[in-house]
């Protein structure tokens, strides 16, 4: 039996008492009214619990959170920086006050009305101030497929890939919340013959199915994070669509890597699902050959069994079509290895930093995490609602979702969505 809340939680909800993901919201304003301040909340069923109201009522009375201002902020950064003792205390308190047999909130009609808001009546915002954003390349299936497409099967995966979690530094200013439209980027593409490079709207706009870790406490400059302590620096995970202009990316990435082909937009889901909530879904990570260097060798290698789906809804269609079913457990390099490698040179992570996993592809044709792979770089068009797609077209809406299946409950992430708009003139 799952945990029981006094708040009605539909059976298929992503947000039962076992989950309680954190986000930042504000109530949708009434016509003519000024917008209210953004503040932290957790999802419970079809409601958002306002943590500022709960804190103002004195219900966070444990030794770590008592008197803290962390839930009166417009981002979660201060709460994240407080670390695992604060996260565990908050989760324990919230599960208690939302439980069916606890009267402190259940029987307080005034506080209940202040603190529980229907999700349809709120606007979700970026949950964190993102100082830095790093994107890894941690799926072996994705690396092999991309390498085969561009370099052939004999040179598919470079030698260094098996020794370190490759990554690049992304652009945090263009990270947006789910539901934000994405304007098709303009830029250069490969020249044809002796002509100048193509310039104009991207002709190969793609999605990338990723997740991202949200950094809690950071580390001091010059002091790396031990791989076996790295989990204490990860608050939780979000869904992430790292939109990619494949034609622009292919022309620009040698010798320094992605730039304009990636920096025009990255979408994340609004709810951060904590590692504590994901703990029941921990699983063994793939065996690594060769064995990594000592600073990347873990006492226990953990991945998570998180089923992932991608849907595309073309312009003018009422229903989306599923195009991908993958799983977080396909990642070759773990989250903790990514953190350890990121900091081994002394780089300082900070609260709210975003660490993308890279595209998460599986071994099966239906588990590929982007159109580059699904269409083999437009050589095999993808069937979609009676249409075909080589790459995304204007008006297409891309929808990611993820949901772990427990016994009589789910731990889900909601959705991560974005619609493609025409390029600016």
Q: How far is CA 38 from the centre of its chain?
A: 21
* 65, 86 contact by CB (below 8 A): yes
Question: Where is 197: in which H helix or E strand?
Answer: none
- Can you give the C-alpha Rg of the chain in angstroms? 22
Q: And the tokens for 35? A: 């917008």
Q: Where do we find the tokens 């939302």?
A: 98
**Could you tell me the two tokens for 324?**
């991908």
Q: What's the length of the chain?
A: 425
- Active site residue ranges: 142
Three-class SS state of 421:
strand
**What is the CB neighbour count within 10 angstroms for residue 400?**
28
Q: What span, in angstroms and rounded, lies between the C-alpha atoms of 382 and 364?
A: 15
Q: Which residues contact 108 (CB under 8 A, 6 or more apart)?
A: none
**Phi (first) and psi of residue 238, to 5 degrees:** -130, 160
Q: Which of 183, 371, 131, 176 is nearest to 266 (CA)?
A: 176
Closest CA to 178 of 14, 414, 417: 417
Tally of CB atoms within 10 A around 378? 15
């Amino acid at each position: 039996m799952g945990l029981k809340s006094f708040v009605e939680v539909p059976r298929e909800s992503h947000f039962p008492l076992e989950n309680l993901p954190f986000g930042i919201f504000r109530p949708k304003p009434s016509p003519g009214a000024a917008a209210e301040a953004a503040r932290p909340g957790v999802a419970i069923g079809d409601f958002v619990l306002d943590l500022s109201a709960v804190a103002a009522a004195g219900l966070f009375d444990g030794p770590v959170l008592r008197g803290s201002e962390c839930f009166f902020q417009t981002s979660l950064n201060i709460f994240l920086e407080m670390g695992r003792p604060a996260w565990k205390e908050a989760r324990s308190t919230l599960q208690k006050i939302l439980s069916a047999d606890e009267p402190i909130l259940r029987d307080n009609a005034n506080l209940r009305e202040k603190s529980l808001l229907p999700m349809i009546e709120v606007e979700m915002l970026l949950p964190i101030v993102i100082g830095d954003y790093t994107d890894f390349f941690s799926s072996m299936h994705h690396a092999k497929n991309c390498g085969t497409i561009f370099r052939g099967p004999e040179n598919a995966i470079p030698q260094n890939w098996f020794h370190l979690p490759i990554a690049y530094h992304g652009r945090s200013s263009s990270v947006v919340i789910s539901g934000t439209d994405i304007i098709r980027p303009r830029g250069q593409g490969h020249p044809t013959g002796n002509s100048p490079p193509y310039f104009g709207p991207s002709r190969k706009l793609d999605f990338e199915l990723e997740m991202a870790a949200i950094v809690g406490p950071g580390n001091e400059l010059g002091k790396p994070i031990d791989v076996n302590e790295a989990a204490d620096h990860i608050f939780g995970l979000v869904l992430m669509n790292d939109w990619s202009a494949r034609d622009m990316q292919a022309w620009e990435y040698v010798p320094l890597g992605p730039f304009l082909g990636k920096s025009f937009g990255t979408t994340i889901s609004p709810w951060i699902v904590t590692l504590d909530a994901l703990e029941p879904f921990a699983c063994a990570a793939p065996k690594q050959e060769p064995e990594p260097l000592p600073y990347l060798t873990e006492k226990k290698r953990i991945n998570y069994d998180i089923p992932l789906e991608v849907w595309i809804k073309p312009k003018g269609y009422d229903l989306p079509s599923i195009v991908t079913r993958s799983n977080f457990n396909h990642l070759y390099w773990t989250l903790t290895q990514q953190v350890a490698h990121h900091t081994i040179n002394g780089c300082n992570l900070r609260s709210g930093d975003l660490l993308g996993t890279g595209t998460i592809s599986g071994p099966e044709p239906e588990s590929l995490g982007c159109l580059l792979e699904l269409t083999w770089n437009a050589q095999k068009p993808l069937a979609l609602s009676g249409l075909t797609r080589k790459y995304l077209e204007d008006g297409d809406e891309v929808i990611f979702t993820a949901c772990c299946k427990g016994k009589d409950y789910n731990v889900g992430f909601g959705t991560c969505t974005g619609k493609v708009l025409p390029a600016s003139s």
